[in-house]
Structure 1
Amino acid sequence: MLATAVARIDHPDYRLYVGVYPNDPGTIAAARAVAATDPRIRVIVGPRDGPTTKADCLNSLWRALVADAADGPIKAVVLHDAEDVVHAAELTVFDTLIEGSAVVQLPVLPLVRRGSLVSGHYADEFAYAHIVQQPVRAMLGAAMPLAGTGCAIATDMLAAIAADRGGAPFDDTSLTEDYELGLHIAERGGRSRFARVRDPRDDSLIAVRAYFPDSVPTATRQKARWMTGIALAGWDRTGWGRPQALADHWMRFRDRRAPVSVLVLAIAYAAILLWPLSVGLHWLTGTAVADDRLADWLLIATTLLLVWRLGMRVGCTAHDHGWRQAGWSLPRFFVGNIIALIAAPRAIRRYLTLLRGGPLIWDKTAHAFPEPGTPLA
Structure 2
Amino acid sequence: MVLGSFSIAEWFVLVQHELLLFTAAFFALGIVDELAIDCTYVWYRISGRIRTWRLEEGDPDAVTSLAGRAAVFIAAWREEGVIGPTLVHMLDVWPQSELTVYVGCYRNDPATMAAVIAAVRGDPRVRLVVHGKDGPTSKADCLNRLYRALVDDELRSGVKASMVVLHDAEDMVDPAALVLLDRAMWQAQFVQLPVLALPQRRSLWVGSHYSDEFAESHGKALVVRDALGAAIPGAGVGCAIARSSLAKLADDHGGDPFARESLTEDYELGLKIAKAGGKGRFLRVRTADGRLIATRAFFPTGLDESVRQKTRWIHGIALQGWDRLGWEAEPVEMWMQLRDRRGPLAAILLVIAYLLLGFGAISIIIDVLGLVALPPSSPLLSILLWINLIGLVMRLVARACFTAREYGWREGLMAIPRTLVSNIITIMAARRALVAYIKTLRGAPVIWDKTEHFDHPALLHANQNLGA
Q: TM-score range by the shorter chain?
A: over 0.9
Instruction: Give the TM-score of the pair, scaled to structure 1.
Output: 0.96
Q: Does 1:222 align with 2:309?
A: yes
Residue 342 (structure 1) shift: 0.9
Residue in structure 1 matched with residue 392 of structure 2 by the alignment: 306
The residue type equivalent to 2:406 in the other structure is: D
Residue in structure 2 matched with residue 272 of structure 1 by the alignment: 357
Question: For residues 356 and 218 of structure 1, what CA distance do their matches in structure 2 show?
Answer: 25
Residue 301 (structure 1) shift: 1.1
Residue in structure 2 matched with residue 196 of structure 1 by the alignment: 284
Residue 307 (structure 1) shift: 0.9
1:201-212 map, 5 Å: 202-212=289-299
Question: For residues 149 and 348 of structure 2, what CA distance do their matches in structure 1 show?
Answer: 45
1:12-27 map, 5 Å: 12-27=97-112
Tell me which moved more, 343-352 or 11-20: 11-20
The answer to whether the 8 Å contact 1:22/1:50 transfers is: yes
The answer to whether the 8 Å contact 1:146/1:179 transfers is: yes
Question: Is the partner of 1:16 in helix, strand or coil?
Answer: strand
Q: Does 1:182 align with 2:267?
A: no
Question: For residues 101 and 371 of structure 1, what CA distance do their matches in structure 2 show?
Answer: 30
Greater radius of gyration (CA): 2
Residue 371 (structure 1) shift: 5.8
How many percent identity over aligned positions?
47
Q: Does 1:65 align with 2:150?
A: yes
Residue 333 (structure 1) shift: 0.3
Q: Does 1:285 align with 2:373?
A: no
Residue in structure 2 matched with residue 108 of structure 1 by the alignment: 195
Question: For residues 166 and 296 of structure 1, what CA distance do their matches in structure 2 show?
Answer: 57
Question: For residues 181 and 92 of structure 1, what CA distance do their matches in structure 2 show?
Answer: 22
After superposition, the CA RMSD in angstroms is 1.5
1:333-352 map, 5 Å: 333-352=419-438
Question: Is the partner of 1:19 in helix, strand or coil?
Answer: strand
Q: Does 1:137 align with 2:137?
A: no
Residue 286 (structure 1) shift: 7.5
Question: Is the partner of 2:128 in helix, strand or coil?
Answer: strand
Residue 287 (structure 1) shift: 5.6
Residue 7 (structure 1) shift: 1.1
Residue 36 (structure 1) shift: 3.9
Residue in structure 1 matched with residue 457 of structure 2 by the alignment: 370
Question: For residues 356 and 210 of structure 1, what CA distance do their matches in structure 2 show?
Answer: 35
Residue in structure 2 matched with residue 48 of structure 1 by the alignment: 133
Question: For residues 188 and 226 of structure 1, what CA distance do their matches in structure 2 show?
Answer: 24
- For residue 297 of structure 1, the aligned residue among 380, 383, 403 is 383
Q: Residues 373 and 269 of structure 1: is their aligned pair in 2 closer, same or farther, counting only changes over 3 Å?
A: closer
Residue in structure 1 matched with residue 23 of structure 2 by the alignment: none
Q: Does 1:231 align with 2:318?
A: yes
Residue 231 (structure 1) shift: 0.7
For structure 1, the 5+ residue unaligned runs are none
Q: Does 1:118 align with 2:184?
A: no
The answer to whether the 8 Å contact 2:296/2:457 transfers is: no
The residue type equivalent to 1:77 in the other structure is: V
Question: Is the partner of 2:191 in helix, strand or coil?
Answer: strand
Residue 13 (structure 1) shift: 2.3
Residue in structure 2 matched with residue 325 of structure 1 by the alignment: 411
Tell me which moved more, 176-185 or 353-362: 353-362
Q: 1:311-351 deviations in whole A, cap 9, x for unaligned?
A: 11111111122111111101110001000111111111101
Instruction: Give the TM-score of the pair, scaled to structure 2.
Output: 0.77
Question: For residues 442 and 374 of structure 2, what CA distance do their matches in structure 1 show?
Answer: 48
Residue in structure 2 matched with residue 30 of structure 1 by the alignment: 115
The answer to whether the 8 Å contact 2:97/2:125 transfers is: no
Q: 1:48-92 deviations in whole A, cap 9, x for unaligned?
A: 111111111111111111112243231100110000001111111
The residue type equivalent to 2:419 in the other structure is: F
Question: For residues 372 and 442 of structure 2, what CA distance do their matches in structure 1 show?
Answer: 52
Q: Residues 280 and 185 of structure 1: is their aligned pair in 2 closer, same or farther, counting only changes over 3 Å?
A: same
The residue type equivalent to 1:24 in the other structure is: D
The residue type equivalent to 2:118 in the other structure is: A
Residue in structure 1 matched with residue 55 of structure 2 by the alignment: none
- For residue 257 of structure 1, the aligned residue among 342, 349, 355 is 342
- For residue 243 of structure 2, the aligned residue among 139, 150, 155 is 155
Question: For residues 49 and 329 of structure 1, what CA distance do their matches in structure 2 show?
Answer: 41
Question: For residues 220 and 31 of structure 1, what CA distance do their matches in structure 2 show?
Answer: 29
Residue 115 (structure 1) shift: 4.3
The answer to whether the 8 Å contact 1:219/1:339 transfers is: yes
Q: Does 1:165 align with 2:253?
A: yes
Question: For residues 287 and 44 of structure 1, what CA distance do their matches in structure 2 show?
Answer: 71
Q: 1:234-263 deviations in whole A, cap 9, x for unaligned?
A: 10011013xx31110111011111111111
Residue 280 (structure 1) shift: 2.3
The answer to whether the 8 Å contact 2:103/2:126 transfers is: yes
The residue type equivalent to 1:140 in the other structure is: L
Question: Is the partner of 1:17 in helix, strand or coil?
Answer: strand
The residue type equivalent to 2:260 in the other structure is: D
Question: Which 4+ residue blocks in structure 1 deviate beyond 4 angstroms?
Answer: none
Residue 110 (structure 1) shift: 0.6
Question: For residues 321 and 275 of structure 1, what CA distance do their matches in structure 2 show?
Answer: 37
The answer to whether the 8 Å contact 2:89/2:458 transfers is: no
Aligned residues: 374
Residue in structure 2 matched with residue 77 of structure 1 by the alignment: 164
Question: Is the partner of 2:290 in helix, strand or coil?
Answer: coil
Residue 128 (structure 1) shift: 1.1
The residue type equivalent to 1:139 in the other structure is: A
Residue 37 (structure 1) shift: 2.7
The residue type equivalent to 1:341 in the other structure is: I
Tell me which moved more, 304-313 or 134-143: 134-143
Question: Is the partner of 1:44 in helix, strand or coil?
Answer: strand
Question: Is the partner of 2:457 in helix, strand or coil?
Answer: coil
